[in-house]
A and B are shown apart, each in its own frame.
Chain A
């Protein structure tokens, strides 16, 4: 149970406060309702490039990091296809420094061409380090456009390719800020060794005066139902073949989401899971394999990804996965197996509540999705999921015409 109080400031900023007096720390998390899906198809990678620029100084504060470090704090941020999230931790008595810093950069950034140029280079190096100079690094650059034909999930947060980042102008960046960075497009959560009333006053003091902005209503092209199997084959200089299979599923806010989540735990949660037990240990077809849900805000995906044993072909690997997926549709899942994945979820949920920062993030994302109370309702929801619901989820997802397959072939075999 994460207890919290929620307030909405007159400018539309939602403020959530969770008190935890067992820690000397406080965490602040701000999630902005903008991600890579909100980018123009010819200007991809912007939400993420912008996240970098948020650390390059704001209207009244030339350097974001220095005062926070002086206060004993540390911070970071990340961008996903759905959101851009900023967070910091600080000794609780210095939490006001967080308010000062975060409110100033919500108010107005100090844009300059020099800073933009440096961050374009940094992001280019990040692109190379994560996606290009790694074995299997380009898998998501290849898979997204295969899986999504209309929805902007078809590009990765880093962008479609380096040229989009290289072409970014100061004008583009300014437009992006005023379009999406607004109190009425964000959720602020403070958790830790704080007093709710004092925090609310600080929120009013620092964030209250920031004007509401006109944030365009999101109107993204939705992905039409897939009607036939899709397949892409590539060859790369990697030591083993790899196989990625993606299946469309409902969004994070859909009530069916939970059954899909437990379905992937049955497939892939732990060493007794079906994929590992059957395909790695029993049949020795894959050297590693896993499955997981991408709980995205718009309809998401189940991903199965594995690397193949050298003497096995990709086709054999794929056939073995299908066999296993058919089995989960057709043979009743044992009650004990369901109890197992529910217990696993309980452990994981307890892990996620160990730090004040994690708790702040959980509340932020749930609130952005509609209701922070969901974090406290979820234990009950997971407990209520039945074998039938999970098998319905499997029957819905695991169809050939709902599947995109990436065959990632090694040039060395």
Chain B
């Protein structure tokens, strides 16, 4: 057989996916979602609270409450709780965003009934002992102080303040904030926002109706509704800023602007446009700035979502001597997308890449839960992702041009450089 290696195999360009329809039950005012999958021995239980940083009275209260859940309850010390959870090989993940705080339990399905009482206790009955609070803040402060030496961290931390001055989305944590947190504030925050019951509970993996019952019995919520904390967003004016860090050999760059959220009709096309410009390894920014010029190990762009609005941004770290050259090339790539319609082949590659990547992002019950969570928390229609993918498939090069013209002119973008001063 003579094999012609220059001819690729037939590529199938259909990427059908299915999202599990979760089973939903309202129990004492709390929505529970069950996403079962028998191909794993693990079970995952996530409680999402309306307890994000926009609700905190002062800096770090929301993250500290989240972080310290279970480090001492009225009947057990932190050490006792941790010993029990560890004994069963259970693992707890805590996460906080502007809007939500979540606490997630992972364990082997067969241990769930043993672990649940401790998990419920840490969620329902945390007391935040002074000593635990002090050690926690001290250690997080040390890690924060180390992060302040990283150009990438400083850039990531300060960039939102350019887009949302005066708004909680633009708040920048300072080192001294770690000295201001009080037990009273943390405990009060916990009582207000965690005792109000979660906005949703997601049970996935090795779980069935029985497990479902076990979980809902473990929590005796008294549902309280908390008003959303929507402070009006400031008017957006693009800003350029440089934060000097002279002893560094690479500079971190972020360029971007506020963006639409998932509900907006332009979200699909903005996602597509983002991917073309900087959203995957074959993107224009990667091809130019890494693969042709070698200025960086990596450059990318992304859409990040909050509840009131999104953020679109480009992020990279480049050799300090390439700062201006990189800014120029980014500008060139943005302008090129304003002036030239994207070719048919590139459109197809990006559309397929997005679909394949989506397929990967819904593989297995835990990955599916992440998507279902977004639909639930954002109040999106059940077929949201089917529609989104369909809209991306149908989009034309003209749509991309339109998106660039409406949202992404260089004059509309803010810019932050963290690192050495550079020559223009």
Contacts and interface: CB of A to CB of B under 8 A. Distances in A.
Contacts of A277: 79, 82
B282 A281 contact: no
B282 A66 contact: yes
Interface string A380-413: 0000000000000000000000000000000000
B249 interface: yes
A240 B146 contact: yes
Interface in B1-46: 1, 3, 5-6, 8-13, 15-17, 37, 39-42
A288 B140 CA distance: 9
B263 to A, nearest CB: 27
Interface residues of A, number: 83
B294 A121 contact: yes
19 contacts: A24-B16, A24-B359, A66-B349, A69-B282, A93-B12, A100-B8, A118-B292, A121-B295, A125-B318, A126-B297, A133-B249, A238-B149, A272-B85, A281-B79, A340-B87, A347-B108, A350-B40, A351-B42, A356-B363
Contacts of A120: 294
Interface SS, A side: helix
B139 A65 contact: no
B422 interface: no
A350 B110 CA distance: 13
Given A240-B146, A346-B108, A287 B139 contact: yes
A70 B111 CA distance: 43
Interface stretch (B88-96, B187-195, B230-238): B88-96
Interface stretch (A2-10, A71-79, A294-302): A71-79
A69 B249 contact: no
B281 A65 contact: yes
B385 interface: no
Interface string A235-247: 0011110000000
A133 B317 contact: yes
B143 interface: yes
A138 interface: no
Interface SS, B side: mixed
Interface in A75-101: 89-91, 93-94, 96-97, 99-100
Contacts of A355: 363-364
Nearest to A120: B294
Contacts of B291: 118, 122
Contacts of B282: 65-66, 69
A43 to B, nearest CB: 20
A343 interface: yes
A270 B319 contact: no
B83 A280 contact: no
A21 to B, nearest CB: 10
Nearest to B16: A24
A133 B248 contact: yes
B225 interface: no
Contacts of B355: 72
A238 B146 contact: yes
A222 interface: no
A125 B90 contact: no
Given A65-B281, A71-B352, A347-B108, A94 B86 contact: no
Given A133-B250, A272-B82, A72 B359 contact: yes
Interface of A: 20, 22-25, 59-61, 65-67, 69-74, 89-91, 93-94, 96-97, 99-100, 103-104, 107, 117-126, 128-130, 132-136, 205-206, 209, 237-240, 269-273, 277, 280-281, 284, 287-288, 307, 309-310, 336, 339-340, 343-348, 350-351, 353-356
B125 to A, nearest CB: 18
A129 B317 contact: yes
B360 interface: yes
- Residue with the highest number of chain B CB atoms closer than 10 Å, among A25, A94, A240, A336: A94
B39 A22 contact: yes
Ranked nearest first, the 9 interchain pairs of A and B with the lowest CB-CB distance are A72-B356, A121-B294, A343-B89, A347-B89, A96-B9, A271-B82, A60-B5, A126-B297, A287-B142
B359 A134 contact: no
Contacts of A307: 142, 146
Interface in B80-131: 82-83, 85-91, 106-108, 111
Interface in B209-250: 247-250
Contacts of A356: 363
Contacts of B348: 70
Contacts of A96: 9-10
A354 to B, nearest CB: 6
Contacts of B392: none
Nearest to A98: B9
B106 A70 contact: no
Contacts of A25: 359-360, 363
